[in-house]
Structure 1
């Protein structure tokens, strides 16, 4: 089973080296990392050029945002399955082996999507929390939001292209929109038995610095995905829950709160 890891990239010199190392060290000979760089000006290009691995395929050109960059990378990808890694996030050790095992080996013909657990890291790389693998369910996504981290979801390339890729008019919730559209098709899913990726939560990241913009875009995404009365009810409840989450994000993702959760959990 060939895996393509697609990476949208723009001025990520602080983290891109670690992201590439974590992915390349577990690639098979036919796997690849496909980087779509939006003409970085901070030295990211020099970091990528110095790696010298033929399985790393880099293209640098202007784009209209992360969604377009991802779509261009997916168009260039050749793997049976595609995983999305942001340049400031990490594939965890053994992730790709876990994806292959979950898909059943070979080319994974009986599976459309592999979903794994994930970790949330602070800027220094310490784990704030760990989330288990859970199947993509349309109703639960409407209610609970994007509970699966995009970096821990590997989608069959033909399925991803059949969905039309990422919505290029979205700049914050393109992953949430994709998961809702994917879940509505009732894909054949498999769960990986290991955490696959880690999301960095820091002030310079989208997740850490643009909570209100995520919230506003998510309202539009939920509206587009609510076709029945029960879906509308879940979407409204999910919007309320999301709003509370944005308002309390700094507290919930802070070190003191994390330590308190661990202490309470025993």
Structure 2
């Protein structure tokens, strides 16, 4: 089973080596790394050319934002299964992609997801939030549940059937896409009870009050677009994050 990992990056030279090391360590050897660079100016391309995986598929060109770049990477991917790994995230251990392949050996499953650790930017060994996703229950969508997007791996057929990311979103395109996959797309997901990704705190969605407000507006738009709830769903989605901090200090 060939797994394509798509990385959309712009000026990620500082964190790319750790991410590349986590991919190189994987025990699953049928791996394609598809990199969509948005015209980096900080040495990102030098890092990729020096440290990138054998056979990496690299394109560097200006883009219209993160979701446009991810879409371009997915279109170029040749794997049976596709996931997204950002330049400042890492696969949690060497077994992650092997677990993905093992779960998707079941032809009745369209995709998989697992658990996620948010770690401090200054100290990647320090866990700030532990996101234990749990098994999928369609009723949980109305309570703001979603699988951790960085842990999500889907068969190529899912994108052919349900579409790519909506580029009119600037922050919540992943939430919108997952709601679409799980509602009209009828994607059948399996849960891997294992931490799959270690993600640095301080992403685009929480860099300041204005970004948080924009994210909430986009989240609500996605909730209404896919008929999974209303304002209560948005409130529950945000409140559900609080228990993820408990026991991490």
TM-score (ref. length: structure 1): 0.82
CA distance in 1, matches of 2:15, 2:24: 14
Contact 2:133 2:148 in 1 (8 A): no
The corresponding residue for 2:128 is 128
C-alpha distance 138-65 of structure 1, shift in aligned 2 (>3 A): farther
> Does residue 206 of the first structure (1) align with residue 207 of the second (2)?
no
CA distance in 2, matches of 1:95, 1:22: 10
Shift, 1:242, TM fit: 4.8
Contact 1:9 1:87 in 2 (8 A): yes
The corresponding residue for 2:156 is 157
The corresponding residue for 2:4 is 4
Q: C-alpha deviations, 1:47-95, integer Å up to 9, x for none?
A: 1111153232211011101111011100111111111111111111111
CA distance in 2, matches of 1:137, 1:170: 26
The corresponding residue for 1:88 is 88
Contact 2:134 2:193 in 1 (8 A): no
The corresponding residue for 1:221 is 222
C-alpha distance 142-9 of structure 1, shift in aligned 2 (>3 A): farther
Contact 1:34 1:77 in 2 (8 A): yes
1:96-107 correspondence to structure 2 within 5 Å: 96-104=97-105
Q: C-alpha deviations, 1:16-49, integer Å up to 9, x for none?
A: 2211211122164431111100001111111111
Gaps of 5+ in 1: none
The corresponding residue for 1:112 is 110
The corresponding residue for 1:236 is 231
Stretch moving more, 86-95 or 52-61: 52-61
C-alpha distance 52-89 of structure 1, shift in aligned 2 (>3 A): closer
C-alpha distance 116-55 of structure 1, shift in aligned 2 (>3 A): farther
CA distance in 1, matches of 2:231, 2:52: 49
Shift, 1:133, TM fit: 3.7
Contact 1:32 1:56 in 2 (8 A): yes
Provide the aligned C-alpha RMSD in A.
2.4
The corresponding residue for 2:31 is 31
Contact 2:119 2:201 in 1 (8 A): yes
> Does residue 262 of the first structure (1) align with residue 247 of the second (2)?
yes
The corresponding residue for 1:171 is 170
CA distance in 2, matches of 1:151, 1:222: 20
TM-score (ref. length: structure 2): 0.88
Shift, 1:241, TM fit: 3.5
C-alpha distance 103-46 of structure 1, shift in aligned 2 (>3 A): same
Q: Which has the higher helix share?
A: 1
Aligned length: 242
Shift, 1:143, TM fit: 2.3
> Does residue 144 of the first structure (1) align with residue 144 of the second (2)?
yes
C-alpha distance 35-137 of structure 1, shift in aligned 2 (>3 A): farther
Shift, 1:139, TM fit: 4.0
